[in-house]
Amino acid sequence: MREQVRLTKFSHGAGCACKLGPRDLTTVLGLLGDVPLPPEVLVSGDTGDDAAVFALPGGGALVATTDFVTPSVDDPYDWGRIAAANALSDVYAMGGEPRLALALAAWPVEELPIELLAEVLRGGRDVAALAGAHVLGGHTITSTEPIYGMVALGFVDPDAIVTNAAAAPGHALVLTKPIGTGMISTAIKRAIATEEQVRAAVGTMTSLNDGASAAMVEAGAAAATDVTGFGLLGHLRRMLEASGTAALVDASAVPLLPGVLDLARRDVVAGGTKRNLAWVNATTDWGEITEPERLVLADAQTSGGMLIATLDPERLAAALDVRGVAHAQVGEVEAGPPGHIRVQGRVVGE
């Protein structure tokens, strides 16, 4: 019988915690500079949005994105499902519907059985199928570290695109998944996660954001982003900077996965989360919360929920409830220096 392989042992940073930090990414993009774009480009990288949108000649628009990550859990099938849900989430964040995907994989063939890669790809294919998307090919390379993700393509009504650049003062901020997957993935990597934590994190990370996306479009939400590697406050900061606004966050209203605050207090924290915290420190008034609580709000998520800005939170809540999507109102957009965040209250753990 083959000994069970722990995929997270081969990961330098679990899941989206492996992302280039927001400060480094901003520097790199600044060095590239701007380029002229044709009028068909409806959304590009200049606002830091989740995906690009391109108008099609016959009407409608194409949503295009890509995302790939290192292992966030040890089970290969679950990791494949998580990585696929994470990649497809960027299409949902624009109000689009995924239809086509291409797999991207790197595999240490000398270290890990090739059969495990097949399980990863199977997990990704199964989640894509749940989303109504077809995996029609892809690309694989050999590597010293396992990596998996997707190019995801979908369609959106050009008049119903939801970007992260339209959050205005008075808009409520609604979050649709609990946070803490980065810390639980780090606990898995260190072999200290409880079974309850693993179940909760896998359940969260494999859940598609299709219901949240449909609800925000139906309710006429103003702006949205999915919460992934830059953490809740990192993605909120990017939304606020793109929108020219500030925000108030109620830390006590932010839902957490089991035991996350305790993990933060024990420094079970990914390097990517600490980079996130260093980046948001300059634009955040933390109030009375402690360093572990700050780390929770900056935790690098993998396949996190949607952060939605809306002028009508009751209508959005009703649309989410009909679809069985959990949600919490965690703050409000306000006038102020672009990207500035005020935190009130305390993070509530178990």
The residues carrying an active-site annotation are 16
Determine how many CB atoms are found less than 10 A away from the CB of residue 256. 20
Q: pLDDT at position 16, please?
A: 45
Instruction: Report the percentage of the chain scoring pLDDT > 70.
Output: 95
Torsion of CA 332, 334, 340, 343, to 10 degrees: -40
**25: how many CB neighbours lie within 10 A of its CB?**
15
Tell me which DSSP letter residue 21 carries: P
- Say which residue, 311 or 14, is predicted with more confidence: 311
* 3-state class (DSSP) for residue 149: strand
Specify the CATH architecture of the domain 7-160: 2-Layer Sandwich (3.30)
153-210: per-residue pLDDT in tens? 999 999 999 999 999 999 999 999 999 999 999 999 999 999 999 999 999 999 999 9
Average pLDDT over residues 127-152: 96
Delimit the domains of the chain by residue range.
7-160, 172-344
Let me know: does 185 contact 201? Beta carbons within 8 Å: yes
- What would the mean pLDDT of 1-29 be, rounded to a whole number? 65
**CA 199, CA 109: separation in Å to the nearest integer?**
29
- Residue 82 pLDDT: 97
- The rounded distance, in Å, linking the Cα atoms of 294 and 274 is 10
What DSSP designation does 107 have?
E
CATH superfamily ID and name for 172-344: PurM-like C-terminal domain (3.90.650.10)
The pLDDT of residue 287 is above 50: yes
**CA-wise closest residue to 238 among 302, 164, 343:** 164
The pLDDT value given to residue 243: 96
Region of poorest pLDDT, from 27-31, 63-67, 92-96, 295-299: 27-31
The count of other CB atoms within 10 Å of the CB of residue 225 is 28
Q: In this structure, are residues 11 and 70 in contact, taking their beta carbons and an 8 Å threshold? A: yes
Q: What is the mean pLDDT of residues 210-218?
A: 97
Given a contact cutoff of 8 angstroms between Cβ atoms, the answer to whether 319 and 219 are in contact is yes
Report the mean per-residue pLDDT for the chain. 92
